[in-house]
Amino acid sequence: MSVNNWPKFSHEVSEIKKLVGDTKRAIIAGHIAPDADSIGSALAFYFGLKQKGIKAQVVFQDDIPDNLFFLPEAGSIIKPEAIDKEPDLVVMVDCANQSRTGDGWIDQYCEKASVIAIDHHLVGKMPKGVTIVDEKAAAAAELIYRLLLNLGVEITPQIANCLYAGLASDTGGFIYNNTTSESFEIAGELLDLGVDMETMRINLFENRSMPGVAVLGFALMNMRQSEDKSLTWTFVSDEFKAKVRAKSKDCDNIASYTMFPNGVKLGIFFEEDLEEGKVKISFRSRLGYDVSLLAAEFGGGGHAMASGCRIRGNLKEIMPKVLAAANKLLNNK
Ligand SMILES: [Mn+2]
């Protein structure tokens, strides 16, 4: 695909060109519980704006996961309260929904500034401003890559590494169904532009903390499967987390193991966090069961095959409700 051939979004691209040309200060935000795609895409766009002489700050409400600090400039990412000057441009990446960026901190900025949203999730209400939403894209990073090229940004090794991290992570290392020939095409181009594969693999797919290994073991030991095998679920209790000194971040990337038992169609991972008074829930699915519906039912979001939500309460209260909803989804298809 040639650089300037992105017919699907040519109108949006020219709108964004205009906006960027008028911008002096920007903030770039991603979604809560940030992942490599949200952070990598935000940082890549930050470097792109910097090339254009624009002062930008990358803002996330939630902490950056430890394993993603290897991304260039990840250490400069700020919390909303640290925004020091009014931006004239707000960019949302990997989420096109103001509410996905947190508890509403972004609303005041969106009211006054121009807004750009780049996303590959199912989006309910579009924000004001210019949106590039493509559910067929495997990662927001794919869209950011095309956009940066169209804006005339030079894809430096820093940008390439940020984008590759998003793409590799959202495709599970290029094995999920969302992976397309275009994903490989873009990955190939990024590789040639300076991606460090070993650093990527270690930070995205290995590098688990020892408490993280312990909670994974607990979750595997406590995994249960419905009689017909279609539903698998497991949990990590607050009690066990305390015992092995595991924090919430040590419980990342456990949900995908619920899809390991044979016969499973839908997997659920529950993480109890009594300090926050919430249970964090991750859904996984295959064979066309849409778990974004399930997450949405409980106020969360995500993709058809991977989604999540947080519910106030403890495991004992929450698990039966969520399992019942999951059974309903399985039985109604
Ligand atoms: Mn994403």
Instruction: Quick: pLDDT tens for 144-180.
Output: 999 999 999 999 999 999 999 999 999 999 999 899 9
Instruction: Quick: pLDDT tens for 287-309.
Output: 999 999 999 999 998 888 999 99
How far, in Å, from the CA of 60 to the mean position of ligand 1? 15
Predicted pLDDT at 275: 92
Instruction: Sketch the domain layout of the chain as residue ranges.
Output: 7-205, 210-332
- 231, 217, 300, 299: which is closest to 261 by C-alpha? 231
Instruction: Quick: pLDDT tens for 36-46.
Output: 999 999 999 99
How far, in Å, from the CA of 167 to the mean position of ligand 1? 8
How far, in Å, from the CA of 204 to the mean position of ligand 1? 14
**HSE value, Cβ hemisphere, 13 Å, CA-based, for 97:** 15
Instruction: Quick: pLDDT tens for 120-143.
Output: 987 777 778 999 999 999 999 999
**Cα separation, 201 vs 294, whole angstroms:** 31
pLDDT beyond 80 at 5: no
pLDDT beyond 90 at 225: yes
How far, in Å, from the CA of 38 to the mean position of ligand 1? 6
Instruction: Quick: pLDDT tens for 205-219.
Output: 999 999 999 999 999
What is residue 145's DSSP assignment? H
How far, in Å, from the CA of 95 to the mean position of ligand 1? 8
Instruction: Quick: pLDDT tens for 233-283.
Output: 999 999 999 999 999 989 988 999 999 999 999 999 999 999 999 999 999
User: What SS3 class is residue 118?
Assistant: strand
Instruction: Assign domain 210-332 to its CATH architecture.
Output: Roll (3.10)
How far, in Å, from the CA of 43 to the mean position of ligand 1? 14
pTM: 0.87
Q: What integer best gives the mean pLDDT of the chain?
A: 95
pLDDT beyond 50 at 2: no
For the stretch 164-175, what's the b/e string if a residue is b when 16 or more beta carbons lie within 10 angstroms of its beta carbon? bbbbbbbbbeee
How far, in Å, from the CA of 66 to the mean position of ligand 1? 18
How far, in Å, from the CA of 226 to the mean position of ligand 1? 30
Residues 6+ apart with CB under 8 A from 258: 223, 232, 233, 234, 264, 267, 268, 269, 284
CATH topology of domain 7-205: inorganic pyrophosphatase (n-terminal core) (3.90.1640)
